[in-house]
Amino acid sequence: MIATNFPLPSNRERVYEDCLPCRIISATGLMGAGGYMLFSSRFRNPASEFYREVKPSNIRFVHGSIKVVGAAMITFGILRAGDGIFWRQNTVTKTELRSSESSKDTH
């Protein structure tokens, strides 16, 4: 009964769309958070108050994990910034799909 009232969209309508502002915001957020984790003085010194709750035997592991996650976030931010500019340039946006469908309907 629900499926008849709310039909699922066809596969044609599920198209990857990415806009420039979305790409800029996500890349900036990833690189900013990664830079904070990688270069912040709060995480740099294992004797800081951030590590008070951590067992002494695990401090090096936690410190290293924060650095790795920060570097990974910066890497993903750079990849996200280049997405659509340097690679994956042939994706079809919803606007292009609609215009191609409307031109097919008129012919």
Polymer length of the chain: 107
Determine what percent of the chain is predicted with pLDDT higher than 70.
64
Mean pLDDT score across all residues of the chain: 77
What does each C-alpha distance from 65 to 16, 40, 43, 61, 68 come to in angstroms? 33, 14, 11, 6, 5
> What mean pLDDT is predicted for residues 5-10?
66
Highest mean pLDDT among 22-26, 52-56, 70-74, 92-96: 70-74
CB atoms within 10 A of CB 26: 16
Hey, what amino acid is at 71? Answer: A
**Cβ–Cβ < 8 Å for 49, 9:** no
